[in-house]
Structure 1
């Protein structure tokens, strides 16, 4: 285990941490008067799609871009681990040519690159391979459509693959499936194991002298596992005690900004508009963006729970607490804006609208 394991660290509860961050923030602000309206839209969306209610409230929606499907469980688990391990800092600041694979940027481009490698019979899921991978091999696997630019932080990605591969080989029989088994198929335990064992999953910052764990990459991996194996009874993660948070993709703060749930100071807006220098992981501005985004999502969840009581008597589906998971519903609602950009109450009109709003660029191995 890592030197400071989960049980040893004096960590603030995330909900209290983001509340403190939102209260003391200097450049990011929560527009609380907008929360009720967004929560109403979440419930309207759920009621409109009542025929797929269970799916919307019990499955973490993800873009249908998984790079590979195979019946061998260890291989599926291992490539999902590699995909999420490499899923960080995939963007360059605006006005700079973006890294693309098969015409797609960001996460989808990464999925495409891994799919391409697998189709070329490169065992990218095997820690025996990537723990000793050369830089030229990784550059070839992650090459862009026309050869430039390279994926951001290529050296850091190679180092991380070497590190996580070595941990799996020396401690977990060369497979991430062993990590899941030793976590008793429990999502919360698995997230803590990821934090303790793998440096790039140790998403922790110091705010006001206290440790705050966002654990975005760890949660993203666990959600991907849940989604991918949702129809496989032999592999089911227990998410009942999973740390409450949201999937804080780069675009989620943009969505919240578009919905007017968060706003930025003039200084921060000017920086995003005129300064292409990425924010640093753990900087005050970056912590405020992430913390306030999480706090806003949590406040939406509270309001959704309150509003849902009006619908309990009207619809028998809502009477089952097991069937209604507001956290997942809000998470999926925000992700649909980020990835699909639906026309929900006219809030976002098309897939280009988010590009008009401030986007923070970050250079971090954590997300």
Structure 2
């Protein structure tokens, strides 16, 4: 039996050997998130207000999100630190820009009948970088993932991810189960201390993006969104350390400072990602307690791990220089 992400986070932190979680830092982070929600800075609408993302009324929005989140992993390389850029964007936003450029060029990149059979030459053209030389990392794995999900959509879902979402009947937990069952490249799991744990970064960000894009309505309406945790990647832990909620033991800090490449499933990697999930769940719990005790006034639908993750991820990008001294774990993986 595989523990779900929330259970996994709890189990991993309980058995962690390489890091510790700090309650004072969790409280500090909860207060920061509350301020951002109250100021209006943290809002589900921010997804669609970003011009690079589709709008809810875009007929291909769900399919666009599915393609992007199928390919949303690993934008760094261990030997060449030249950043992959498209239209001036880096990382995840470079991917979005590449997909949007392909659509503008008439490439049917959101159609599973097309991308289930996409060839290397076409995908290389889709992913071409601004400098014409830097290639997107793990290219061969990206083409495998794209063909895999496209074929499964064609076989079981009439070619549309929208049909998968509708089959979940407004349950985020059911949609998560469908995604990781139907599409193996989203099955982000590991063996840790005698248990099978799950992190499900890309599967959960896919659900979060559907919710954000559709403003929690229609296709994005979920009645159990609280079951979705944060999206455990390699950059958010820098923010958790910055706020004092996560602390690496000297052995792990020394290893990360040397730019050591970890294998996917390494217990040190699993601990960092599991602790990230646990901390965000604790932050969410703290905010809900304050709301219940009427210490604060907030729209309850804003208090979920998706929005807290949005804050952490955006914070890292906005304060990149300030946080660069904090080493991050490096794994060449299709899972994040």
Q: What TM-score does the superposition give when structure 2 sets the normalisation length?
A: 0.90
SS in 1 for 2:220: coil
Residues 60 and 223 in structure 1, CA contact (< 8 A), matched pair in contact too: no
1:41 paired residue number: 32
Residues 67 and 112 in structure 1, CA contact (< 8 A), matched pair in contact too: no
Give the gaps of 5 or more residues in structure 1: 1-9, 342-349
Q: Deviations over 1:245-275 (max 9, x none)?
A: 1122432101101112112222322222223
Q: Alpha-carbon deviation of 1:156? A: 0.7
SS in 1 for 2:35: helix
2:326 paired residue number: 357
| Residue 281 (structure 1) aligned to one of 251, 264, 282 | 264
2:303 paired residue number: 325
2:15 paired residue number: 24
2:235 paired residue number: 251
1:267 paired residue number: 251
1:156 paired residue number: 141
SS in 1 for 2:125: helix
For 2:253 and 2:261, the matched residues in 1 are separated by 14
What are the equivalent positions in structure 2 for 1:144-223 lying under 5 Å apart? 144-223=129-208
Q: Do the aligned partners of residues 172 and 157 (structure 1) sit closer, same or farther apart at CA in structure 2, a change above 3 Å counting?
A: same
Give the gaps of 5 or more residues in structure 2: none
For 1:165 and 1:326, the matched residues in 2 are separated by 30
Aligned residues: 335
Q: What TM-score does the superposition give when structure 1 sets the normalisation length?
A: 0.83
Q: Which has the larger radius of gyration?
A: 1
2:52 paired residue number: 66
Q: Alpha-carbon deviation of 1:335? A: 3.2
For 2:140 and 2:8, the matched residues in 1 are separated by 33
For 2:4 and 2:123, the matched residues in 1 are separated by 38
Q: Do the aligned partners of residues 323 and 284 (structure 1) sit closer, same or farther apart at CA in structure 2, a change above 3 Å counting?
A: closer
Q: Alpha-carbon deviation of 1:100? A: 1.3
Structural RMSD (CA): 2.5
What are the equivalent positions in structure 2 for 1:84-163 lying under 5 Å apart? 84-93=69-78, 96-163=81-148
